[in-house]
Structure 1
Amino acid sequence: DEPADLSQLQDDFYEATDPSASPAAANERTDSFVSTISSAGGVFLPGFYDNGWDGNAVAPIFASLVVTDDAGEPIGDLAEDWEVSEDGLTYTFHLREGLVFSDGSPLTADDVAFTLTLLNDPSYEGSVDFTKVVIAGTDDYKNGDADAISGISVIDDQTIEITTEKVNPNALTLLGGQVLPEEYYGADYVKGDLDYLRDLYSKPIGAGPYAFEEYVEGQEIRYTANENYYDGEPAIGTLIFKILSSDSTLQNFQNGDIDQGGFGSDPDTLEELQGLGFASVRARVIPDLGQIWVNNDNETLADTEMRQALYYGLDRQQIVDAKYKGLGQVADVYAAPTQWSYTNEGVTQYPYDPEKAEELLDGLGWEVGSDGIREKDGEKLTISYITTTQDDPVIPVASATYSEIGIDFVPEVLDGNTAFARFYDHDYDLAGFRTDGLVDPDDAVNEFASEDPHINVTGYENADVTKLVDEGISTFDQDERQEIYAELYQALSEDPPTILLDYRKSLSGWNARIQGGENFTTGGGDSSLALAKLSIADD
């Protein structure tokens, strides 16, 4: 097959034509910036939340040693600079001088050491995975009598050296993640028991540009400019994330109730935003993937041929057209088209082909019953689908196309927290979620090689895939990695763990009175840096 044409997926910028048209409600906010998120779970502690929106919520609060830009290149945040040893195993971070947390307490290398220790505690069950890096001495700390992880060495207040056991090109950002204050989060720390942290989920303290103020469940999260921020107190005193459904964002923006929002991928919405005059808009290629996760632990869905049948039996182009109206594209590999690893050369393509789907289902022994639903060993082929939006276009399309091939498709529309809980408990058949923003090619595939059920939420197992995933992070040479990922994408297309849906462009719009809005997207890798640089134009 010919490679997909990705020419349509390019960033575009549309400058406001009449900033003076800004609504009065927005103009009255002379010292606050209001953005949006769709939901929140209330777990405002890096490394401990399941709900990705909580990740967006903590971004203003917690600073990292290192973040990445849109191209995946590292940017120093709390770390002024760093070195990596010649063998690629030892990382030395040099912190900026005079760092403090928002409560005024000093931030030192000891806090970095504590954070890494916490995330490698024997009772830690969060989503941060160090198994592909392994800090030296971790096993002794988890399983033995060691009081500390030997591979973490605090040289002085501003210098920390971390020795790992595996070469991994992603180790820099993994080791250089968001930093927690030991004095606050470690006061009650005892190895093997992290339950005490639950009391602090709703009371976060970090070193980011904004300090947490208040969370009103279902309504908003409020922040105050951190006067102790290392790069200077942000120019805008108050930050607010209003919790809004996607269908109400545009109205709130038009009324001036919010200053910035994500507006999906609808060309009609782009036209409406341009018509406002005061809106600047960025149509950005988002480095993520829309997918339907498939529970490979489910006996019905465990066969490769069943997952292939679900692929062939779904009109994905119809879903993408309905959802993005020209601002999206059917996905074909586990990489966003913005990533250097993207290639679809040699991958198995899955065009809509109900006859092929029926052939595969017949081969698995699923026979069409008198009511049109397939049966096997007295069981009907009923497959449920979890989603969080009533207007999810997968529902009507899958209901129609799966019905044609004898599948009883049952959608379940759940609130975000319930959906995520079901998802991570492996209590689902199919589930519609997007990946987080992808930085490195490993981000989209590492879960399929993990033995941790909290990470490998599909329960997928394939020895060849596991080998290639591990090889993909065993070298710093990008050319070598490119070859590995090309082979990996082929393997994943032949034995698909999930159903890939789409790549997309997404509209971010902001009131032109907000200076620097073009650099801010909620939850991006460097979103805290962009937040710190926002300002409000004088009238």
Structure 2
Amino acid sequence: MKRTLAVAAGLTAVALTLTACSGEGSPNEGSSTSPTELKIGNFMDLTSWDTAVADIGFNGPYLSAVYDPLIALDGEGKPVPALATDWTVSEDFLTVTLELRTDAVFSDGEKFDADAAVANLEYLRDGAVSREAYLNVESFTAVDEDTVEIDLSARDDRLLYFMGLGRSYMAAPSAIEAGTLAEAPVGSGPYTLSESSIPGAEYHFDRVADHWAADEFRFEKVSVLPIQDDSARNNAMEAGQINVTFADDTTVEMAEQNGWSTESKVAAWIGLRINDHTGEQLEPLGDVRVRQALNYAFDGAEILSSLGRDRGEVTNQVFAVGFPGNDPALDDRCAYDMEKAKELMAEAGYADGFEVAMPMSGPFQTWQPTVEQVFQELGIRVTWDEYQFTDYQSNAPNYPMFIVSLAVDSDPVATIARQFTVPQWYMPEPDISEFPELQSQVDAALEAPRGEEQEAEIRELNEMVTEQAWNVVWYQSANTYVTTPDIELTPVTGMMFPTLRQIQPAA
């Protein structure tokens, strides 16, 4: 196989889940004193101030400035206290009890208490996007002023993780009732949105001096500038207009030259998403040998090196590298072997390949030549249906398989939901239930006692879906961030851009 892979210029990998800047400054060359202003160069604009419809994605810096969550995540993706100071889970896993702070106040003067928390949780449960976290919730109850009880219809080990990921931001109940959250945020967060902000161009935040967690948010001012163009974002970083940025290859090179700090962590898996494991749409995909052949045929290490600039980890798994569920021993399954791939295709009765239609859009053109080259060697004849990027998300799931960059989660139970069992935009009709052995192992993993026993069951599930070649994973890409030396940033797998809790003045 000739592995002459096309190289993408200036690509920023986009995990599909989902401008000019201004300001004075000088080149950031480091400082011996702590910075007073945090100036973030984000890759995407805010989707909404409305906590029920805002996509988690790149909204972390915006939302975490003005809203406090009940539960947050630490750098390893573990739930940690915020407005909820503690929680307990009942022995039958059907009741979660939250103990709340009593010293938080919304920016409109309303006091945060259990009634406010319940109003928010009910709003989030009904939200078009936020409801993902509360699928198994039957009710929320304010037990007393500082205690909330969450009653579940079924055990749900994802709940606390999803709440911490960005699905428990608290807004003023009056703003929820008025239906005005999309217009302007009213939260109890460490900052308030400044009137000097220009939607779509620059967002400025003023510090709340008496915020209950003021010691955890030490910047006097925060600005977030959505700069979609990579070059413009890099220029802003070099000019000192921003001191934190979502990085591309050029940014990393600039960091080495300027003495900036660089942090990265796995964020998404790259490859072919297979939605038709039964072969109902495309008969060949119903044969595990064909799916295995596709896995053998792609050289993930070479794709990561040539197209991913070695910013990521070679793996054939959807469970995040370095987190529970992922098993490095499985990465040799279906290791690159084109001859083996051809043998499997022949055994399955497709020695001459087959025809397939797949969707294509701008962000995925990087990998298009590689797919064409590999398919050609296997005799697979592909027809590409072109879509605008904004239409790709709604159309791609109608195809039996398609190229994706999908966010991975640090929590393995969340991975089971998002990759196998719960409908998503990329998986509107999960078909794992059509495979009794796999469904049985899913149930075993979700029902096992938490801890080592559950992790063992999850690894067993991972081995089974890997053997079944459920998807064609080439590698897991890493999100990279660059900061000036006086700022420390902690990436969080599961968040496309960290919240303000993960961005602090350097010690």
What's the TM-score once normalised by structure 1's chain length?
0.74
2:210 counterpart of 1:208:
no
User: Are the structure 2 counterparts of residues 464 and 115 from structure 1 closer, same or farther at C-alpha, using a change threshold of 3 Å?
Assistant: farther
Q: In the aligned structure 2, how far is the partner of 1:44 from the partner of 1:228?
A: 23
Aligned residue number for residue 21 of structure 2: none
Letter in 1 for 2:322: T
1:259 Cα deviation after fit? 1.0
Task: Say if 1:251 and 1:174 are closer, same or farther in 2 by CA, change over 3 A.
Answer: closer
Distance verdict in 2 for CA 1:327–1:448, change over 3 Å: closer
CA shift for structure 1 position 484: 0.4
Q: Given residue 465 of structure 1, which amino acid in structure 2 is its aligned partner?
A: L
CA apart distance, 1:318: 1.8
1:445 match: 416
SS of corresponding position for 2:482: strand
User: In structure 2, the residue corresponding to 1:172 is in which secondary structure?
Assistant: helix
2: distance between equivalents of 1:62 and 1:76? Answer: 14
1:209-241 CA-partner distances (Å, limit 9, x unpaired): 333454633x44444434563212753323213
Structure 2 matches for 1:139-288, cutoff 5 A? Answer: 149=139, 152-174=140-162, 177-181=167-171, 183-187=173-177, 200-213=181-194, 214=197, 216-217=199-200, 219-227=201-209, 229-232=211-214, 234-246=218-230, 248-264=232-248, 270-277=252-259, 279-282=260-263, 284-286=264-266, 288=268
Distance (whole Å) between structure 2 residues aligned to residue 386 and residue 294 of structure 1: 17
Residues paired across the two proteins, number: 468
Distance in structure 1 (CA, Å) of the matches to 2:232 and 2:272: 25
Provide the aligned C-alpha RMSD in A.
3.7
Alpha-carbon distance in structure 1 between the residues aligned to 2:28 and 2:497: 27
Q: Secondary structure in 2 aligned to 1:161?
A: strand
CA contact (8 A) 2:192 2:208 kept: yes
What's the offset of the Cα at 1:35? 1.6
Q: 1:498 is aligned with what amino acid?
A: N
Output the amino acid matched with 1:355. E
Letter in 1 for 2:96: Y
How far residue 185 of structure 1 moved from its aligned partner, in angstroms, is 4.7
Q: Which residue of 1 aligns with 2:442?
A: 469
Moved more, 174-183 or 105-114: 174-183
Equivalents in 2 of 1:109, 1:49: separation in Å? 23
Query: More deviation in 305-314 or 476-485?
Result: 305-314
Alpha-carbon separation, structure 2, partners of 1:290 and 1:222: 34
Q: Does 1:293 align with 2:273?
A: yes
Aligned to 1:38: 43
The alpha-carbon distance between structure 1 residues 96 and 243, as it changes in their structure 2 partners (threshold 3 A), is same
1:121-149 deviation per Cα after TM superposition (whole angstroms, max 9, x unaligned): 4x856561434xx23xx2xxxxxxxxxx3
The residue identity in structure 2 corresponding to 1:439 is: S
Alpha-carbon separation, structure 1, partners of 2:344 and 2:192 = 55
Give the counterpart letter for 1:231 in structure 2: A
**1: distance between equivalents of 2:232 and 2:145?**
48
The equivalent residue for 1:118 is: 123
Distance in 1 separating the partners of 2:369 and 2:232: 22
- SS for the counterpart of 1:83 is strand
The question of whether the paired residues in 2 share the 8 Å contact of 1:68 and 1:526 is answered with no
For each residue in 1:389-439, what CA deviation from the matched residue of structure 2 results, as whole angstroms up to 9, or x when unmatched?
55x2x223222222222234456776654333435x646840321315x22
> Residues 309 and 448 of structure 1: is their aligned pair in 2 closer, same or farther, counting only changes over 3 Å?
same
Are the equivalent residues in 1 in contact too, given 2:66–2:186 (CA < 8 A)? Answer: yes
Q: Is the 8 A contact 1:83 1:93 kept in 2?
A: yes
User: For residues 174 and 270 of structure 1, do their structure 2 counterparts lie closer, same or farther at Cα, with a shift above 3 Å needed?
Assistant: closer
SS in structure 1 at match of 2:325? coil
Contact 2:42 2:227 in 1 (8 A): yes
Query: What amino acid does structure 2 have at the position aligned with 1:456?
Result: M
Maintained 8 Å contact 2:70/2:170: no
Q: Offset of 1:509 from its aligned partner?
A: 1.7
Q: By how many angstroms is 1:163 displaced?
A: 2.7
CA contact (8 A) 1:348 1:494 kept: no
SS at match of 1:187: helix
For residues 453-480 of structure 1, what are the alpha-carbon distances to aligned partners after superposition, in whole Å with 9 as ceiling and x for unaligned? Answer: 5473474323333333333233443111
State which drifts further: 222-231 or 314-323: 222-231
Q: Which one of the candidate residues 353, 356, 359 is aligned to 1:384?
A: 359
Which of 374, 377, 401 in structure 2 is aligned with 1:401?
374
Q: Which moved more, 1:313-322 or 1:240-249?
A: 240-249
Amino acid at match of 1:338: G
Contact 2:206 2:221 in 1 (8 A): yes
1:343 to 304, 322, 327: 327
Q: Which runs of 5+ in 1 are unaligned?
A: 1-21, 139-148, 189-196, 369-373
Query: 1:245 & 1:389 partners in 2: Cα distance?
Result: 17
TM-score norm. by structure 2 comes to: 0.78
Question: What is the CA–CA distance in structure 2 between the aligned matches of 1:247 and 1:458, rounded to whole Å?
Answer: 39
Q: Is the 8 A contact 1:347 1:494 kept in 2?
A: no
CA change 1:469–1:525 in 2 (3 A) is farther
Cα distance in 2 between the residues matched to 1:455 and 1:442: 18
Percent identity over the alignment is 18
The CA deviation string for residues 261-307 of structure 1, in whole angstroms up to 9 with x for no partner, is 2324x5x8645412213x1233x333543343233287127524443
Shift in CA distance, 465/41, structure 1 to aligned 2, threshold 3 Å = farther
Query: Which of 485, 489, 492 is 1:518 aligned to?
Result: 489
> Contact conserved, 2:39 with 2:244, CA < 8 A, in 1?
yes
Match of 1:307 in 2: 291
State how far apart, in whole Å, the 2-side matches of 1:259 and 1:357 are.
48
- Find the residue that maps to 1:381 and give its secondary structure: strand
